[in-house]
Chain A
Amino acid sequence: QSVLTQPPSASGTPGQRVTISCSGSSSNIGSNTVNWYQQLPGTAPKLLIYSNNQRPSGVPDRFSGSKSGTSASLAISGLQSEDEADYYCAAWDDSLSVVFGGGTKLTVL
């Protein structure tokens, strides 16, 4: 069971906007920044969002992140077929560890 809670699945049609939630606690999301990763099948994860809402260079602005209290969200607008992947949130936990969400499998219908 993961420390950060994500829905196991999400879906949307091309062009649609989807959001993926990530729920934590005061010791992780509540007091530290959140990252989001995209993992395409058979590949290593890729950093999508850091510091709650910052995009590394090369990540399309269709991807955005937000945080409020002990929860965070990843939004994907203008959904494309190539966005079909697993998405993970992560944060430092004050117990001196990194915690990940269980992952959300995004299906583009």
Chain B
Amino acid sequence: EVQLLESGGGLVQPGGSLRLSCAASGFTFSSYAMSWVRQAPGKGLEWVSAISGSGGSTYYADSVKGRFTISRDNSKNTLYLQMNSLRAEDTAVYYCAKDGLAVAGILLGYDYWGQGTLVTVSS
């Protein structure tokens, strides 16, 4: 059974940093691209970042480029999102999602999602 379990969310002050983790199980982690998708309270889905199965290709939304870094450790079956210079508008539930392809420069579809972890940026 495929499982994605996010952790690392919490309350952080503006300008602060946070690292999210997503522990994956039930599939060959290195064979699939992964993404982070967020949802602000009461709002729609917003794609944040994607990484290929090998970790060699990464992509970012303009809203987080230069502040967030996506990475993965295929030996630990874990996806990460390092978030720096956090702003109030980064407040959201952050989901990790598995794509159906190994490459990240295209989207087949996110066939599995984690339960999400809440990040609140506030003083």
Contact = CB atoms under 8 A, between A and B. Distances in A.
The prevalent SS among residues of A at the interface is strand
Contacts, number: 69
A56 B111 contact: yes
A46 B44 contact: no
B71 interface: no
B83 to A, nearest CB: 18
Contacts of B44: 2, 86, 88, 100-103
Nearest to B95: A44
B73 interface: no
Contacts of A2: 44
**Interface residue tally of chain A, by bracket?**
20 to 34
26 contacts: A32-B107, A33-B108, A35-B109, A35-B110, A37-B110, A44-B113, A44-B114, A44-B115, A45-B110, A46-B113, A47-B110, A49-B109, A50-B100, A56-B109, A56-B111, A88-B45, A90-B45, A96-B59, A97-B59, A97-B61, A97-B62, A98-B59, A98-B107, A100-B45, A100-B47, A102-B44
Interface of B: 35, 37, 44-47, 50, 59-62, 95, 100, 105-111, 113-116
